[in-house]
Amino acid sequence: MKPKLVVLSGAGVSAESGIATFRDAGGLWEGYDVMEVASIDGWYKNRKLVLDFYNMRRKQALSALPNDAHHIIAKLEEKFSVTVVTQNVDDLHEKAGSTKVVHLHGELFKSRSTVDINLVYPVQGWELNEGDTCERGSQLRPNIVWFGEAVPLMSEAAKIVSKADVFIVVGTSLQVYPAASLVDYVSDAAQQFVIDPQMPFIEKGNNMTLLETFATKGMREVAKLLDKIF
């Protein structure tokens, strides 16, 4: 049986594919106040603005390509049973070939009903507009977990993380909760790696390796270390 490897990935992984991160933009995404475009209050205040914002992000993501970090994570499936738990809403992990991806904060290329959260649909192309409705006639919204909303996949993610033999944190500042709390579920026996150019404060355990670098370089180093350990 293959060892279980879990990757917790954040915006720093997608940044090297040209997708802008919230952290690096001074609290703005492409010039937008995050609370105007990524909160339920923003949705009720200006639905068209929110839809246009995610249309722009979707159009950008369509042309983005996976980088070496994504490809290395996908290749790890040859030796490990890999689950990617990502805070990213893009599909770059899937494009690279990862087969088990849990999107904590939703998926950019899906929409959902505003009256029934179980009605989820793929977005064809990059546009989701006013007047696009679910089968119950309700306006569709981006299938994104906005600030102030519950993260429905947290319990599932915590169970996955608790069973990891190897746990890799890459491209996340560990400042966004509840996702950041997943590190608390990792077994002390697990091999742990944290990769980030601005290393978050984290209590270093005996089995933990800290790599203060970008996602692509860090994942190359981790892959070499794993070859020596397993």
Q: What is the C-alpha to C-alpha distance for residues 217 and 212, in angstroms, rounded to an integer? A: 10
For residue 180, pLDDT beyond 90: no
Q: Nearest-CA neighbor of 101 among 14, 198, 223, 175?
A: 14
CB 34, CB 147: distance < 8 Å = yes
For residues 101 and 93, is the Cβ–Cβ distance under 8 A?
yes
Share of the chain above pLDDT 90, in %: 80
For residue range 107-124, list pLDDT tens digits in order.
999 999 999 999 999 999
The residues carrying an active-site annotation are 105
Radius of gyration of the chain (CA): 18
CA dihedral 149, 155, 158, 159 (to 10 degrees): -160
Mean of pLDDT over the chain? 92
Alpha carbon of residue 158 to chain centroid: 15
- Identical fold at 1-19+65-105+150-230 and 20-63+107-144? no
Beta bridge partners of 8: 85, 169
Residue 221 DSSP symbol:
H
The average pLDDT across 8-27 equals 78
Is there a contact between 129 and 51 (Cβ–Cβ < 8 Å)? yes
Locate all alpha helices (DSSP H) within the chain, ordered by sequence.
Answer: 11-15, 34-37, 40-45, 47-63, 68-75, 92-96, 154-162, 215-229
Rounded distance between C-alpha atoms, residue 39 and residue 50, angstroms: 9
Q: Please state the domain extents for the chain.
A: 1-19+65-105+150-230, 20-63+107-144
Name the CATH superfamily housing domain 1-19+65-105+150-230.
TPP-binding domain (3.40.50.1220)
Candidates 108, 78, 111, 82; CA nearest to 9 is 82
pLDDT for res 113: 97
In this predicted structure, the answer to whether residue 28 has a pLDDT above a threshold of 50 is no
Q: Say yes or no to pLDDT of 103 above 90.
A: yes
Q: Would you list the DSSP string of 105-160? A: TEEEEEEEESS-TT-EEEPPTT---TT-B-TTSPBEEEEE--BTS--TTHHHHHHH
- Is the whole model's pTM more than 0.85, yes or no? yes
171-177 average pLDDT score: 83
Q: Provide the sign of the torsion angle of the four alpha carbons 25, 21, 7, 39, taken in this order.
A: positive
- Please state the length of the chain: 230
Question: If one looks up domain 20-63+107-144 in CATH, what number appears?
Answer: 3.30.1600.10
d(CA 43, CA 60): 21
